Amino acid sequence: AVDTLAAGDVFHDAFAVGLAEAMPVEQTLRFASAAAALKCLRFGGRLGAPDRAETLAMMAAHWPA
């Protein structure tokens, strides 16, 4: 981890997106976890948050369908 600042916020935001998009619960948790993990790899609060493409790529790498 480089910086955990805002990791919880990123997790909750991504979790809310998953719920709003009616993702299955398991996929929602993976989406939120991947987003928070990617955030921890970068310095900076909000500016270190990953985008959707990066998050989905991490999901595909760690949880293949």
Active site residues: 6-9
Q: Which residue has the tokens 């310095």?
A: 43
Residue 17 in tokens: 């997106």
Residues 6+ apart with CB under 8 A from 29: 15, 18
Q: Which residue has the tokens 């900076």?
A: 44
